[in-house]
Structure 1
């Protein structure tokens, strides 16, 4: 057996030590051992089919042609003095959706659309409160729109997370941007959460309504006309986007970029806007065009989905009163929260 031969080689190493200045050749069954003052190298071959190579003190696996020995090799391949975080594909993942907090133009009752407006003081408070509500839910990646109100919401929310990881905005707009924003500490990287910004997650573009007061616009064009522009699925405002047009770009981006991360077991948070998130929820919940136009999303209230076996199961909002039921629903979330509790105590 490969394991028997390997154990024999390890016994030889232990009996001779490996700090002295010498070289040793040792045959172990169908395996060979070369031990030098700089470390050691083991070539293990069984019946000419399985070949393993171990180098130096860390036992890093170079080649393994047989999967039957994976469990044994994994146990010895971990460095003796260093803890290694080995990413494993999870059977489920968490998806958090947050509409940004109140913006300065929300406060003024203006059509905002793709105009880049920051949060109000109330919006900041809403973002912080949203962070408290998701502070026990794992987050591995963050996606936001390209607009500041969504980005502020994501960053403020993460200041409340118990894991205390730092959200880092990725800059891939040019080679120089990527080069200048590199992190050179692997330990620091482990304490960061990548943040991807995408214009496809922007609010729908309201065209000639942007900057206009909603009440004054209703007085000018009539309530029914403005309601049609705001709430219909396929009728856009003048020179703007309909909800259908917004959904085309937002859902396409979700499928291409975000869904693969969720299927790989990554826990994802999306901070975006009323219409881009309504579009994604339409896809997740399989809503009709009539159902989605009546869907209302409050500012700063997170929604949680459990992604399992390529299905999206909505858990609603992880607000404090219902938090226990959120964690009772999945063992993985319960374990994660328990680990956070242990870190504190």
Structure 2
């Protein structure tokens, strides 16, 4: 018996389009991003997929992706569990800046190590910076010590994996059909875990926006296959 989870990175957002580092900033999808989600839904419906529940980050672009995708499948709305553990990697002081601005401030070589490497985190946000997540009411119930002010990919992965082990994996074992909408770096961290990749290999992993990534597992959650459901 196979157990299947479909992961998807949200489609194009307003800040993706302007090449800005978004991180935890709550930026909606563009019309193109909504169209990407709808196309993914039609592809999933055409290949026979169905879902019992969905899981998303606390950022609106993942909920928009799920709702648009499911509507395009011609299915009723799914229950959606939202969690900060599926939020995008926190880019610290880089959030809201575009690559040209970052290169000018810190140099291209250092900047690339921050966003493509595994262990180096960008400069953190100051405690009083209005971008600090402690000012966002969505995180008011979280222990402030848990709120990141910057993250390396390794930090992001450590934050995400407990949700897989404690929430998603038991549901998969129980036979629930899951749709998980998240972000490029959180999904990179999960792929690293599932595929047993090292830090060097992770630098070359890309997660395509708006394209379903299907993982198949044994009943004890060993990976037995994965595929991208790209449009024909």
Q: TM tier, shorter chain?
A: 0.7 to 0.9
Q: Which residue of 109, 124, 135 corresponds with 2:19? A: 109
Q: Work out which of the residue numbers 46, 49, 71 in structure 2 matches 1:159.
A: 71
- The counterpart of 1:280, out of the listed 190, 198, 203, is 190
Offset from partner CA, 1:130-162 (integer Å, 9 cap, x none): 111211212112100010011101111101224
Deviations 1:231-270 (A, max 9, x none): 1101000011000000001111111100001111111111
Q: Is the 8 A contact 1:203 1:275 kept in 2?
A: yes
Deviation at 1:320, TM superposition (A): 4.5
The separation in 1 between residues aligned to 2:15 and 2:50, in whole angstroms, is: 32
d(CA) in 2 for partners of 1:124 and 1:244?
Answer: 30
**In 2, Cα distance between equivalents of 1:320 and 1:206:** 31
**1:210 counterpart (95, 106, 122):** 95
Alignment equivalent of 2:230, drawn from 319, 322, 341: 319
SS at match of 1:153: helix
| CA distance, structure 2, for counterparts of residue 301 and residue 280 of structure 1 | 16
Question: Structure 2 stretches of 5 or more lacking a match?
Answer: 125-149
Q: Following superposition of structure 1 onto structure 2, how do residues 153-192 of structure 1 map, counting pairs within 5 Å?
A: 153-162=65-74, 164-167=75-78
- Which residue does 2:172 correspond to in 1? 262
Partner of 2:37: 127
Q: Unaligned stretches of 5+ in structure 1?
A: 1-90, 168-193, 322-345
Aligned to 1:294: 204
Q: Which residue of 1 aligns with 2:55?
A: 143
The runs of at least 4 aligned residues of structure 1 exceeding 4 Å deviation read none
CA distance in 2, matches of 1:220, 1:108: 18
CA distance in 2 between counterparts of 1:314 and 1:112 reads: 31
Note the C-alpha offset of 1:312.
1.8
- CA deviation string 1:29-62 (max 9, x = no partner): xxxxxxxxxxxxxxxxxxxxxxxxxxxxxxxxxx
Root mean square deviation of aligned Cα: 1.2
The Cα shift of 1:93 comes to 2.0
Q: How many residues matched?
A: 204
Q: Structure 2 matches for 1:233-272, cutoff 5 A?
A: 233-239=118-124, 240-272=150-182
| Greater RCO, CA 8 A, separation 6+ | 2
The structure having more radius of gyration, on CA atoms, is: 1
